[in-house]
Amino acid sequence: VMGLSMPTTAQTFPDRPITLIVPFAAGGPSDVLGRLIGQSMSATLGQTILIENVGGAGGTTGAARTARAAPDGYTLLIHHLALAAGATLYRNLPYDTVKDFEPLGLINQGPYVIVSKTGLETRTLAEFIEHVKKSGRGISFGTAGVGSGSHLCNMMLQAQLKVQFNEIPYRGTGPAMNDLISGQLDALCDQTTNSIPQIQGGRIRPYAVTALQRVEQLPNLPTLHESGFPNFEVTVWHALYAPRGTPDAVVQKLSAALEVALKDPAILARFADLGTTPYPVGERGPAAARAKLESEVAKWRQVITDSGFTPTN
Ligand code: MLT
């Protein structure tokens, strides 16, 4: 009957704007990726997608907000490896990392780059390590909070390079990058999606890549793996989620819209410029994303336990 409000069905969904929660500050890697994917999905779904930056606590604040939202497809979350690492690093999470989300699909994967402000007098990785060692805890290193990718990278650098940084937490690496450029922060480990444009612009100085292979866009930049730190690897992977209990037909519709975005040549070209790789076709749907989340929870539990890191509240 006309005039009566109808419940959400796969046919009418979405009939109002969707909110996409980015669990880190604006201007950083998750934000850049969220806006890129969100724009395409918005066009496919014929609805506005509003980006809401809910930074804090290594991305767990934004994840908690999503887990509490109505499971109707109108609140989504873009998140990365920190969702998995947080399961071990936080003692009192208000959600179950594996059970409280419906994965819609995997998006991309890519490395991080160790970078510093240009004012630092070091030029190579060896010089940088030497300088950090000599400075005691004097070199400031930005992170997006416990469990974030930049924090995990920091944790692994400290353990494997046998150095100590003065860790400065931010709500995301977007604002940390701004401080690096202006010279208020000394060093950072950030995804290529955020670091490549600044490296190419000469605004920050790169030292090494956290992948086992070099990055095509930065061919002269060595990996840590080839620089005397065998198997040093931090790889980010992003996925899109809805709250647990979202109807399957809505999950399918959102997942299909994500798939359209990941086949868009303009998005793929942008991914390539930013040194990040789309998840392979056929290996990135909801089931694959759930399996990835589960395996990464187990992987980071092992890495964090082996490193002797004490969980936080
Ligand atoms: C961000 O978007 O700010 C980053 O992904 C945070 C991080 O280092 O994990």
Pocket perturbation via mutation, ligand 1, pick of 79, 150, 189 by most ligand atoms within 8 A of CB = 150
pLDDT tens for each residue of 273-303: 999 999 999 999 999 999 999 999 999 999 8
Query: Ligand 1 pocket, 29 CB below 6 A?
Result: yes
Q: Which atom of ligand 1 is nearest to the CA of 32?
A: 2
Pocket perturbation via mutation, ligand 1, pick of 107, 148, 188 by most ligand atoms within 8 A of CB = 148
Confidence band (pLDDT; 50, 70, 90) for 313?
Answer: low
∠ CA 200-112-56 to the nearest 5 degrees?
A: 110
Q: What ipTM describes this predicted complex?
A: 0.95
The residues that bridge with 142 in the sheet, in sequence order, are: 168, 188
Task: Report CA(178)–ligand 1 centroid distance (Å).
Answer: 13
pLDDT tens for each residue of 57-114: 999 999 999 999 999 999 999 999 999 999 999 999 999 999 999 999 999 999 999 9
Query: Ligand 1 pocket, 174 CB below 6 A?
Result: yes
Query: Ligand 1 pocket, 58 CB below 6 A?
Result: no
As a whole number of angstroms, the distance between CA 80 and CA 293 comes to 9
Query: Ligand 1 pocket, 194 CB below 6 A?
Result: no
Strand (E) positions, 67-149? 75-79, 101-117, 140-143
Average pLDDT, the chain: 95
Q: What is residue 308's predicted lDDT score, i.e. its pLDDT?
A: 77
pLDDT at 222 over 60: yes
Q: Kind of pairing, strands 101-117 and 235-243?
A: antiparallel
pLDDT at 2 over 80: no
As a whole number of angstroms, the distance between CA 132 and CA 253 comes to 49
Q: Which atom of ligand 1 is nearest to the CA of 173?
A: 3
pTM score of the predicted model? 0.94
Q: What is residue 310's predicted lDDT score, i.e. its pLDDT?
A: 73
Q: Which atom of ligand 1 is nearest to the CA of 29?
A: 2
As a whole number of angstroms, the distance between CA 90 and CA 53 comes to 21
Percent of the chain residues past pLDDT 90, beyond the cut: 92
Q: Which atom of ligand 1 is nearest to the CA of 174?
A: 3
Query: Ligand 1 pocket, 247 CB below 6 A?
Result: no
The first and second tokens of residue 129, run together, are: 């390590």
Task: Report CA(12)–ligand 1 centroid distance (Å).
Answer: 34
Q: What is residue 162's predicted lDDT score, i.e. its pLDDT?
A: 92
pLDDT tens for each residue of 105-154: 999 999 999 999 999 999 999 999 999 999 999 999 999 999 999 999 99
Task: Report CA(252)–ligand 1 centroid distance (Å).
Answer: 27
Task: Report CA(130)–ligand 1 centroid distance (Å).
Answer: 27
Task: Report CA(106)–ligand 1 centroid distance (Å).
Answer: 17
Query: Ligand 1 pocket, 147 CB below 6 A?
Result: no
Q: Which atom of ligand 1 is nearest to the CA of 172?
A: 3
Structural contact between residues 111 and 149, judged by C-beta atoms closer than 8 angstroms: no
